[in-house]
With several copies, the nearest count.
Chain A
Amino acid sequence: MSKKKDEVVYFDEKGKRFDGRSQFEIRPITLKVGVIERSDGSAYVEWGQNKAIAAVYGPREMLPKHLADANKATIRYYYRMAPFSVPDRKNPKPGRREIEISKVSGEALSHSVDLEQYPNTAIDIFVTIFDSNAGTRITALLAASLALADAGLPMKDLVSGIAVGKAGGKLIADMNKHEEDASDAVDLPIAMLPNNNDIVLLQMDGVLTEKEFYECLDIAKKNCQEIRELQVSALKEKYSVDFNSGD
């Protein structure tokens, strides 16, 4: 017999979450730039159990040609989950969820790159998730933004992000799968250019009051700025140059 969802406890008597984290604590993040030799730019990101690899190819010729934009480069983003990356085996064919995430993520990254410098070209970003536990679209986005930087593309800023949300009656940061299954779960993935707090990706599922929503935005803003520091460190590790100097 499976436990009723309502009986599940999301915070223990000390206010700790199921995996021991405090309310707004995020899981450990590991970032590595330059992991795929053949690509023009690449990165690996581990966020808790989530594992994503991103590769950038381009700017290169847009095929088929009629899709080319005469004014700027076009970012094409492919978010894919490996069949073994989820509890049940996923069909390898991309599903509607993957296509939607690819669309909004590609739009988010388009804001961060100076696309006008490369008219008529394609910049292809391939991201594969190899392991998952809630929050993969943001994990993928961090990897993709690092890969774009690694490819030497001119960028306004890095794209950082986090999924904030709600479970067991409280707002939380960086929810895991267990919390995502709560009966009152809210998932609010958000991505920003942290330097000027431009919101480039924002989605939400679940029931939030207006006040809770505003709080979520503020939690996200703080986290994005911290995560950006981790991204910068990962780039420094590869390039040993100060990416913050020009901000």
Chain B
Amino acid sequence: MQEYKYESELVKQELFNDKRLSKRKMFDSRDISIELNTLQNANGSAILTLGKTKVVAGIKIMPETPYPDTPDEGSISVGIELSPMSDPNFGSGPPSEDSIELSRVVDRSIRESKGLDFKKLCIKEGEKIWCVYIDIYIINNDGNLFDACELCALAALKCAKIPKLDDEFKVVKEEYDGHLELLKNPILFTFAKIGDKIVLDPDLIEECASDARFSVAITEDKNLVAIQKGLHGAFKIDEVKNMASTAIKNYDDVFLKFNKILKSKSAH
């Protein structure tokens, strides 16, 4: 990311005075907007913008054979495509390690919140379960894909419909059997450490200036459900505690906005 070398310097200069180029406060997130279920072939979908970062998530809920060691549990699968259309530095080809890390952090944020009851996703023990496929494409990358993808996945899940099955467990096209139930609303908060300053929801230029990254997923009961530290830099213990407590503090505000958008868009 040599391209933003000059801008990175600007970022650092401003941060010297606890200011961001974007005029945001250190722990402020960018605005979000969401469109729901505009894609008919998906069982649920969301298009989310976080500032200028734009991602789309599509859900497919498919009957599959259960894993032998969990015959009565459904499963989820998260795949994130760092689509080359969204960033000149993303290549085509098989998933990169960046894409794999991102997918797995989003997967854990949702899975570990226990918002999806995997037992309820069992169709017939040992024979058929529902697998919830969450596929996410980056459309425009202006930084913080972690939070954008996680929130977009959550929005898509919350409006997803479960297909109807016939007696042979085959999907009946265009018929549905209720909604996916989501018992928790995990929201991911990602921080960047630049020099010795920490900001929430870094944009692309801030990411280019970053030394370390910290992501933590919080649920409505203010529990932590997933954490990932990244990049070459290090955090002090107090910094980590401060970021966790900031995320918890910010949860209600973000969740409120998120819910409001969802309710305004969605009938159910």
Contacts and interface: CB of A to CB of B under 8 A. Distances in A.
Does A touch B (CB under 8 Å) in the complex?
yes
Interface of A: 35-39, 42, 49, 51, 53-55, 57, 60, 78, 82-89, 92-93, 96-97, 99-100, 102-104, 107, 110-111, 124, 126-128, 130-133, 188, 193, 197-210, 213-214, 217-218, 221
Given A37-B142, A131-B42, A207 B114 contact: yes
Interface in B83-105: 83-88, 92, 94-95, 97-98, 100-101, 103-104
Given A36-B140, A51-B39, A210-B248, A107 B232 contact: yes
Smallest CB-CB A-B distances: 7 pairs? A84-B58, A198-B234, A204-B227, A55-B85, A126-B85, A202-B229, A84-B42
A37 B62 contact: no
Contact of A128 (B85, B104, B233): B85
Main secondary structure of the interface of A (DSSP, over half): mixed
A5 B222 CA distance: 25
A214 B224 CA distance: 11
A130 B104 contact: no
B158 interface: no
Contacts of B52: 37
By CB atoms of chain A within 10 A, which of B40, B94, B219 has the most?
B40
Interface in B123-174: 133, 135, 137, 139-142, 171, 173
B65 to A, nearest CB: 15
B230 interface: yes
Given A55-B86, A132-B41, A83 B228 contact: no
A202 B236 CA distance: 11
A168 B229 CA distance: 26
Interface of B: 38-43, 45, 52, 54, 56, 58-60, 62, 79, 81, 83-88, 92, 94-95, 97-98, 100-101, 103-104, 108, 112-114, 133, 135, 137, 139-142, 171, 173, 214, 216, 219, 222-237, 240-241, 244-245, 248
Contact of B234 (A92, A193, A210): A193
B140 A37 contact: yes
Contacts of B133: 83-84, 89
